[in-house]
Chains A and B, each alone.
Chain A
Amino acid sequence: DTGVSQNPRHKITKRGQNVTFRCDPISEHNRLYWYRQTLGQGPEFLTYFQNEAQLEKSRLLSDRFSAERPKGSFSTLEIQRTEQGDSAMYLCASSSPDRGPSGANVLTFGAGSRLTVL
Chain B
Amino acid sequence: DQQVKQNSPSLSVQEGRISILNCDYTNSMFDYFLWYKKYPAEGPTFLISISSIKDKNEDGRFTVFLNKSAKHLSLHIVPSQPGDSAVYFCAGNRRSRDDKIIFGKGTRLHILP
Instruction: Give residues in A with beta carbon < 8 Å to B.
Output: 4, 31, 33, 35, 40-45, 48, 55-56, 91, 93, 102-112
Contacts and interface: CB of A to CB of B under 8 A. Distances in A.
A107 B101 contact: yes
Contact of B44 (A45, A55, A102, A109): A109
Interface of B: 4, 6, 9, 31-34, 36, 41-46, 49, 51, 89, 91, 93, 95, 98-106
A40 B105 contact: yes
B44 A43 contact: yes
B43 A103 contact: no
A94 to B, nearest CB: 11
A75 B86 CA distance: 29
A107 B93 CA distance: 10
B84 to A, nearest CB: 19
Given A40-B105, A42-B89, A45-B101, A105 B95 contact: yes
A56 B94 CA distance: 14
Contacts of B100: 45, 48, 56
B43 A91 contact: yes
Contact of A107 (B41, B46, B98): B46
A105 B42 contact: no
